[in-house]
Amino acid sequence: MSKLNAAILGSFSAFKRRKYLIGATELSYADLAAEVGALGMFLEESDLRGERLLLITADNRALLTAFYASLLKGATSVILDPKAPVAELSTLITAADARGIVADRSILDALQDTGALKNVAIRLPVSEAARPAKKSGFRIFGNKPAGGHIADDLTTVIASHAKQPPTAVDVEDEAIAYILFTSGTTSNPKGVMISHRALHAQIQTFINNYRLSSDTTVMNLLPFHHTDGLTQGAVMCLLSGSTFVRPYAFTPDMLPQMMDDLYKHSVSHLVTVPSVLALTKSLDSGYAESFDYPEFKFIISTAAYLDPRLWQACEERFGIQIVNVYGLTETVCETMYCGPGAKERRLGSVGKPIDSLAKIVDDNGTELGDELDGELLVAGDHIMSGYFNNPDATAEVLDDGWFRTGDIAKRDTDGFYYIVGRKKDLIITGGMNIYPEDVNGVLRSIPGVLDAVTFALPDPMWGERAVSCVTCDSSVDPSVETITSEFLTRASRQKLPREILKLDDFPRGPAGKVVMSEIKALFIRQLSQQEAQKEQTADEGDVEARIYSIAAGILGCETQALSNESEAETIANWTSLSHVEMTLELEKAFGFKFTPREIMKFRRLGDAVDIVRKRTAA
């Protein structure tokens, strides 16, 4: 039995009287064990050992039950974004080559005619509306596909295996626990394979470094299809006996509620991202003591660059410590930690490697000394096994146990590491990985777009933002709004460039290659001109029209499609991320900070119009 599965079973046994999940419903370790045991028996009967099981659901309880059951029964979970467009899901499902799927019914219905599920024999739809009132489970429905079978519902599975505690099949530590895709909208997908050994090693580091135990309570609202939500939330809590607080998905209007819930649930560790910290810092003085209770330990800032000024301002304002961490999906989650110990803490640094090795090398692979910039390489038990069905991409980054991060870093004389740039072609915005060629491929697939170039620009809030330049067929000549709306039918919202600039042609060198320095300079110059025009128009124009324009650019729709009644329920691309973007862009555009009351009120576009008009009139 793998060490990971032994630890999972140990937690089910040792902490059965404790709460595991505080969410839409409370879930104890004993309840979770019963549901995992029941579903696990079904997976074993379905002969899914060594196979891949797709998990695509917004139901936290359903996803976690299926994830832990698949681990114990030797299946590999492939977790995808339930909000991703059908086209993107189809690409990734095909690449995953899975035998089973647990997904929201609406997702399965949307995929029915795509052909993506033709080889997926076992299909378990999750129907939230059909969830029984009983505490013991959620319902799973579905029609039996050709060559496969399906359970009636989870409650029936639990009842039919009521005397069976969760058990594990004998899998090796090197067995693949899960796959998370970091790219692949149109190019060859990169599915990061994480073994039982790597996941167990990472969680043990978390438990030791964060000082987790059955007395700690962790709040983490980050999504499960990203490693930070899955490993540094759900799995970390399970193996440490901690309580996992996840009552809702984060949106800016829930920020005051989140702060109240920290105290309400006696949260000891908050795992979040820099953009949320920036909003938190803007809360009024009434929230200055939000972390002032004996159980609270520290905030863990993950997934993106943490500006030292924001870091220091938050610590001083709230009187707390922020532990800044660094890692990638390929390192399970984290590989360096700045804190919580005083010897591992230095403002502005990503800290030091813990339970891992790190070195900085030049272009020839020669290790460099202190205070010299070079590529950061890391090694340890937490490194991925490779990219699924992609040996060439694996060979590019794995070398004799060392993983090439693609980040340019330096180490000071005290052993602290600092990320100073990036070598590989990757954009990290708000903790989300964006591959420029993925974006370019989507843009080129849009009717009328001839070519595309995507690159990163610095952003004070998100670390970086992706922007694109396109050239278009003069006979079609799609507008930027049309390109944006078409993009969102092909790829997820997080991959949409923040700005798209149409050019007649790209500056190219003698060999025809795009000269990136020139195109970036051209972009910045034209963007500055556009911003100046917007400011002049704003001084003269209507507040509502300007807000609609900002919202349309973020949401990827025509301004005519918006009204004062527009909200997350009526606009497909109105997500928690786009809500944060709108809030920050409105603050920037109109020169004031939203108060906590205004943040809570901002649910519809009309709310923003009312807020801005009142503030600008004053």
User: Do 118 and 49 belong to one domain?
Assistant: yes
CA distances from 303 to 324, 337, 461 (A): 10, 12, 13
Closest to 94 (Cα-Cα) out of 332, 388, 329: 388
Q: Tell me the pLDDT band of 410, cut-offs 50, 70 and 90.
A: very high
User: Do 4 and 142 belong to one domain?
Assistant: yes
Nearest 5°: phi and psi at 522?
-65, -45
Q: Which of 46-50, 154-158, 560-564 is the least confident region? A: 154-158
CA distances from 3 to 146, 208, 308 (A): 37, 16, 38
- pLDDT at residue 537 in the model: 52
Q: Is residue 81 part of a domain?
A: yes
- pLDDT at residue 567 in the model: 87
Three-state secondary structure call for residue 345:
coil
User: Do 159 and 43 belong to one domain?
Assistant: yes
Pick the last residue of a domain from 403, 422, 441: 422
The first and second tokens of residue 377, run together, are 């390489």
Q: Tell me the pLDDT band of 464, cut-offs 50, 70 and 90.
A: confident
- pLDDT at residue 385 in the model: 98
* Half-sphere exposure (Cβ direction) of 596: Cα atoms closer than 13 Å: 16
**Cα–Cα distance for residue pair 158/393, rounded to 1 Å:** 42
- pLDDT at residue 585 in the model: 82
Q: Is residue 56 part of a domain?
A: yes
Q: Is residue 532 part of a domain?
A: no
**Cα–Cα distance for residue pair 228/273, rounded to 1 Å:** 10
Q: Is residue 209 part of a domain?
A: no
Closest to 25 (Cα-Cα) out of 75, 60, 76: 60
Predicted confidence (pLDDT) at residue 609 exceeds the cutoff of 80:
yes
Counting the structural domains of the chain, the total is: 4
Residue 214's Cβ-count burial label (10 Å; 0-12, 13-18, 19+) is: middle
User: Do 484 and 500 belong to one domain?
Assistant: yes
The better pLDDT of the pair 163, 171 is held by 171
User: Do 106 and 144 belong to one domain?
Assistant: yes
Question: Residue 568's domain is classified under what CATH number?
Answer: 1.10.1200.10
Q: Is residue 606 part of a domain?
A: yes
Predicted confidence (pLDDT) at residue 16 exceeds the cutoff of 70:
yes
Q: What's the average model confidence in pLDDT over 383-390?
A: 96
User: Do 86 and 107 belong to one domain?
Assistant: yes
Q: Tell me the pLDDT band of 137, cut-offs 50, 70 and 90.
A: very low
Q: What's the average model confidence in pLDDT over 207-223?
A: 96
Question: Which pairing describes strands 176-181 and 191-195: parallel, antiparallel, or unpaired?
Answer: antiparallel
Predicted confidence (pLDDT) at residue 157 exceeds the cutoff of 70:
no
User: Do 156 and 63 belong to one domain?
Assistant: yes
**Cα–Cα distance for residue pair 210/297, rounded to 1 Å:** 9
Domain that holds residue 383: 322-422
For residue 400, how many other CB atoms are within 10 A of its CB?
5
Pick the last residue of a domain from 171, 188, 217: 171
User: Do 406 and 498 belong to one domain?
Assistant: no
Most confidently modeled range among 162-176, 199-213, 523-537: 199-213
Predicted confidence (pLDDT) at residue 544 exceeds the cutoff of 60:
yes
- Total-model pTM: 0.79
Three-state secondary structure call for residue 215:
coil
- pLDDT at residue 362 in the model: 94
User: Do 30 and 164 belong to one domain?
Assistant: yes
User: Do 417 and 518 belong to one domain?
Assistant: no
The first and second tokens of residue 581, run together, are 């973007």
Question: Residue 388's domain is classified under what CATH number?
Answer: 2.30.38.10
User: Do 143 and 55 belong to one domain?
Assistant: yes
Question: Residue 476's domain is classified under what CATH number?
Answer: 3.30.300.30
- pLDDT at residue 138 in the model: 37
Q: Is residue 333 part of a domain?
A: yes
Q: What is the mean pLDDT of the chain?
A: 86
- pLDDT at residue 184 in the model: 56
Q: Tell me the pLDDT band of 280, cut-offs 50, 70 and 90.
A: confident
Predicted confidence (pLDDT) at residue 103 exceeds the cutoff of 50:
yes
Contacts of 388 by beta carbon, 8 Å cutoff, 6+ apart: 95, 96, 179, 189, 191, 192, 193
Q: Which of 78-87, 236-245, 524-533, 582-591 is the least confident region? A: 524-533
Q: Is residue 449 part of a domain?
A: yes
User: Do 166 and 60 belong to one domain?
Assistant: yes
- pLDDT at residue 145 in the model: 42
Q: pLDDT (tens digit, 9 = 90+) per residue, 493-509? A: 888 998 899 988 888 76
Question: Residue 149's domain is classified under what CATH number?
Answer: 3.40.50.980
CA distances from 443 to 365, 438, 516, 574, 576 (A): 36, 9, 18, 21, 24
Edge-to-edge strand order for the sheet containing 19-22?
Answer: 26-28, 19-22, 243-245, 217-220, 269-272, 298-301, 322-326, 336-338, 352-353
**Cα–Cα distance for residue pair 246/258, rounded to 1 Å:** 10
Closest to 472 (Cα-Cα) out of 427, 499, 515, 503: 503
Three-state secondary structure call for residue 427:
strand
Q: Give the whole-number percent of the chain exceeding pLDDT 70.
A: 90
Task: Name the strand (E) or helix (H) holding 100.
Answer: strand 100-104
Residue 571's Cβ-count burial label (10 Å; 0-12, 13-18, 19+) is: middle
Q: Is residue 602 part of a domain?
A: yes
User: Cα torsion at 386, 388, 389, 390 (round to 10°)?
Assistant: -50
Contacts of 124 by beta carbon, 8 Å cutoff, 6+ apart: 66, 100, 101, 102, 103, 140, 142, 150, 151
Helix and strand numbers (H, E) in the chain are: 20, 26
Q: What's the average model confidence in pLDDT over 137-166?
A: 53
- pLDDT at residue 382 in the model: 97
Pick the last residue of a domain from 156, 171, 186: 171
Q: Tell me the pLDDT band of 304, cut-offs 50, 70 and 90.
A: confident
- pLDDT at residue 252 in the model: 79
Q: What's the average model confidence in pLDDT over 167-194?
A: 87
- pLDDT at residue 530 in the model: 66
Residue 555's Cβ-count burial label (10 Å; 0-12, 13-18, 19+) is: buried
Exposure string over 498-512, b if 16+ CB within 10 A, otherwise e? bbbbbbeebbeeeee
